[in-house]
């Protein structure tokens, strides 16, 4: 009975992550419990497997009909639709805040503003064009595995900020407040497991530089958030996922 209860709780946490971080349908019984959402962060890389798997499937199907660059574009569109551009929105808000603010209060105010400024637009355009150029330059046989691993690994690095940094906002009304608790070692290990699974599909010479550049990109953004905000926000997590995903594809695209 205890084991079935544990499985049910973890399944609900996973489905809660799917419901929060994507537009994919989940059972209505889950509701929007803050406690359940706090448990769901460790399943963000598992959500990445779903999103990356969808992108990989769309790429494979589209590649039967069109040239690889067109298939890449359709795969990216599918992942954006599945997530509602959730992480891209975080990147835009973070770029606007860090680019236009001069102290913590101003940066947080800019990040909370629903309007998108020039820094945010430029950041999202560069991120999307960068991902398209890098993915389109990969071997077509590698690309589905790149999407699967890139979406999972980048989400692990975003989650890692929750284990090593403080939450920067003080307002209880923040949408990311339920995710603000420090991620424990056990939960971080769960996230790592789901991130590591797709790496087994890549050769070590491909996976190692990709993970290394994803980690460096995350450390770079984390240093900026720590310096200017003293921690992370929900938008910072979205931005971390985006820069880590770009770093991952950069590593895969390195010329031997």
Q: Note the pLDDT tens digit of each residue in 142-191.
A: 999 999 999 999 999 999 999 999 999 876 556 555 666 678 889 999 99
pLDDT at 33: 58
Domain count, the chain: 1
**Would you place residue 62 in the very low, low, confident or very high pLDDT band (cuts 50, 70, 90)?**
very high
170 lies in some domain: yes
* Residue ranges making up the domain that contains 154: 42-252
111 lies in some domain: yes
Q: Is 90 exceeded by the pLDDT of residue 141?
A: yes
2 lies in some domain: no
100 lies in some domain: yes
pLDDT at 184: 86
Task: List pLDDT tens digits, range 74-130.
Answer: 999 999 999 999 999 999 999 999 999 999 999 999 999 989 999 999 999 999 999
Residues in the chain: 256
pLDDT at 1: 47
Average pLDDT of span 211-225: 98
Q: How many CA atoms lie within 13 A of 115 on its CB side?
A: 5
Instruction: Give 1 or 215, the one with higher predicted confidence.
Output: 215
Q: Is the dihedral of CA 105, 111, 116, 117 positive or negative?
A: positive
31 lies in some domain: no
5 lies in some domain: no
206 lies in some domain: yes
15 lies in some domain: no
pTM for the predicted model, two decimal places: 0.93
């Amino acid at each position: 009975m205890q084991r079935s209860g544990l499985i049910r709780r973890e399944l609900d946490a996973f489905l809660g992550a799917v419901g929060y971080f994507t537009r994919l349908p989940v059972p209505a019984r889950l509701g929007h419990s803050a406690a359940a959402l706090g448990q769901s962060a460790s399943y963000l890389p598992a959500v990445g497997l779903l999103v990356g798997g969808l992108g990989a499937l769309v790429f494979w199907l589209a590649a039967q009909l069109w040239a690889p660059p067109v298939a890449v574009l359709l795969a990216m569109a599918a992942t954006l639709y599945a997530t509602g551009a959730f992480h891209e929105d975080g990147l835009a808000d973070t770029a606007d805040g860090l680019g236009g603010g001069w102290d913590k209060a101003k940066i947080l105010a800019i990040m909370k503003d629903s309007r998108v400024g020039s820094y945010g637009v430029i950041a999202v355009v560069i991120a999307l064009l960068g991902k398209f150029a890098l993915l389109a330059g990969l071997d077509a046989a590698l690309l589905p595995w790149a999407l699967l691993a890139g979406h999972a690994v980048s989400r692990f690095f975003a989650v890692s900020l929750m284990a090593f940094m403080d939450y920067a906002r003080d307002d209880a009304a923040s949408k990311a407040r339920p995710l603000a608790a420090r991620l424990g070692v056990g939960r971080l290990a769960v996230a790592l497991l789901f991130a590591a699974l797709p790496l087994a599909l890549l050769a070590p010479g491909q996976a190692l530089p990709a993970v290394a550049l994803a980690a460096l990109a995350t450390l770079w953004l984390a240093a900026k958030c720590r310096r200017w905000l003293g921690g992370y926000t929900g938008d910072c997590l979205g931005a971390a996922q985006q820069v880590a995903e770009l770093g991952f594809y950069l590593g895969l695209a390195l010329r031997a």
